[in-house]
């Protein structure tokens, strides 16, 4: 009787260990192979590379490195001397061309009113041509004035976004070249998280599903949504060699690694105690809205829920 009881206990313990092992293996399988999550995530951000539209020496630099600036705030000022002279010359040229146009207009009007006996057709055409030339010259002078005013205004370089001045290397006295970026601003309104998911997990979620983000350097979680899934990544085999031939990498046919596809996560809000920095390491967990688990896992979950409820 005693031996029989021991056998029953051993069988029950063995069965219990087996069930627990099945639960453990199923849980690990779902967590690592099925559930859409990745530790390969990174905080990303848009960076505005500010370039001047005119060239010149920097004479004023009111911002510092890592300083927050609003859209439209002054970043630096380029020497306005040459541009002020150009503006004054353009104004003077407009005045000169306007006076000449007035003279040519009056002369043309007088000749146009004369009869053919008092002024020949050729003479009228000459004065009309002079009037048209003066009119075109006046329009050109006005356009030059507008350009000079634009250039004068462009000597004050302003921020195009709300954000943080980053890696500032400019100094007063540096020369700014037209079209060459010389100051970078991290757009504070553009943070997102890029999660690099294995291609085998892409089918378990879709755009719009809720997501959670865990940052390595901070406690707590950020909430967000799957905003988009990248439609293409670089393919090494698509490159062409220097001889114009296909470049094909050698691979092991019995080992295939899943590619990682970037998934863009839009952050809902950032708590005040968390300071986001582009490049931070993140873990991304997607919670699919309505993605059924595999049937075997569903069965195990159902049994587990029944056991827990008793």
- Is residue 38 within 8 A of residue 168, CB to CB? The reply is no
For 102, list phi and psi in degrees, rounded to 5.
-65, -45
Q: Three-class SS string for 69-136?
A: ECCCCEEEEECCHHHHHHHHHHHHHHHHHHHHHHHHHHHHHHHHHCCCCCCCHHHHHHHHHHHHHHHH
Q: Which residues neighbour 161 within 8 Å (Cβ) at sequence distance 6 or greater?
A: 46, 48, 71, 185, 187, 188, 189, 190
Superfamily of domain 35-45+191-233+243-309: Efflux pump adaptor protein, beta barrel domain (2.40.30.170)
- Residue 134, judged by CB atoms within 10 A of its CB (0-12, 13-18, 19+), counts as buried
Other CB atoms within a 10 A radius of the CB of residue 284 amount to 25
Angstrom distances, CA of residue 129 to CA of 10, 96, 97, 143: 116, 19, 15, 21
pLDDT in tens, the chain (310 residues): 667 677 777 777 777 777 777 766 666 555 555 568 899 999 999 999 999 999 999 999 999 999 999 999 999 999 999 999 999 999 999 999 888 888 777 776 766 655 555 555 666 566 667 778 888 889 999 999 999 999 999 999 999 999 999 999 999 999 999 999 999 999 999 999 999 999 988 888 999 999 999 999 888 889 999 999 999 888 777 777 777 788 777 777 777 788 899 999 999 988 888 889 999 999 999 988 754 444 444 554 454 444 444 4
Q: What is the pLDDT of residue 27?
A: 60
Report pLDDT digits (tens) over 75-109: 999 999 999 999 999 999 999 988 888 877 777 67
Q: What whole-number distance in Å separates Cα of residue 145 and Cα of residue 132?
A: 20
Domain with CATH 2.40.30.170 in the chain: 35-45+191-233+243-309
Domain with CATH 2.40.50.100 in the chain: 48-187
Domain at 48-187, CATH class: mainly beta
| Straight-line distance from the first to the last Cα atom of the chain, in angstroms, rounded to the nearest whole number | 30
Angstrom distances, CA of residue 71 to CA of 50, 153, 232, 272: 12, 16, 33, 21
Q: What whole-number distance in Å separates Cα of residue 193 and Cα of residue 284?
A: 8
Closest by CA to 176, choosing from 80, 73, 90, 87, is 80
Name the pTM for this structure.
0.73
Angstrom distances, CA of residue 87 to CA of 28, 91, 136: 73, 6, 20
**Residue positions counted in the chain:** 310
């Amino acid at each position: 009787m005693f031996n029989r009881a021991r056998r029953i206990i051993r069988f029950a313990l063995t069965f219990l260990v087996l069930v627990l092992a099945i639960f453990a293996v199923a849980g690990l399988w779902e967590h690592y192979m099925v559930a859409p999550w990745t530790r390969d995530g990174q905080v990303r951000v848009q960076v505005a590379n500010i370039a001047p539209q005119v060239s010149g020496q920097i004479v004023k630099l009111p911002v510092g490195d890592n300083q927050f600036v609003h859209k439209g705030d002054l970043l630096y000022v380029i020497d306005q001397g040459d541009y002020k002279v150009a503006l004054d010359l353009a104004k003077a040229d407009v005045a000169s061309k306007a006076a000449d146009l007035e003279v040519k207009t009056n002369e043309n009007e007088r000749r146009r009113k004369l009869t053919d006996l008092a002024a020949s057709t050729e003479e009228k055409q000459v004065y009309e041509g002079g009037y048209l030339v003066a009119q075109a010259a006046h329009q050109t002078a006005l356009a030059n004035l507008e350009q000079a005013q634009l250039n004068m205004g462009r000597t004050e370089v302003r921020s195009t976004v709300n954000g943080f001045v980053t890696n500032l290397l400019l100094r007063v006295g540096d020369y700014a070249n037209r079209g060459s970026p010389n100051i970078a601003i991290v757009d504070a309104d553009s943070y997102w998280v890029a999660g690099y998911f294995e291609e085998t997990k892409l089918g378990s979620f879709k755009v719009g599903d809720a997501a959670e983000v865990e940052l390595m350097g901070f406690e707590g979680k950020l909430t967000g949504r799957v905003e988009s899934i990248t439609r293409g990544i670089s393919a090494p085999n698509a490159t062409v060699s220097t001889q114009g031939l296909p470049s094909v990498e050698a691979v092991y046919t019995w080992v295939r690694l899943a590619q990682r596809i970037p998934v863009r996560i839009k952050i809902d809000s950032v708590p005040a105690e968390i300071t986001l920095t582009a490049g931070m390491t993140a873990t991304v967990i997607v919670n699919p809205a309505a993605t059924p688990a595999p049937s075997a896992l569903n069965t195990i979950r159902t049994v587990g829920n029944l056991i827990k409820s008793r």
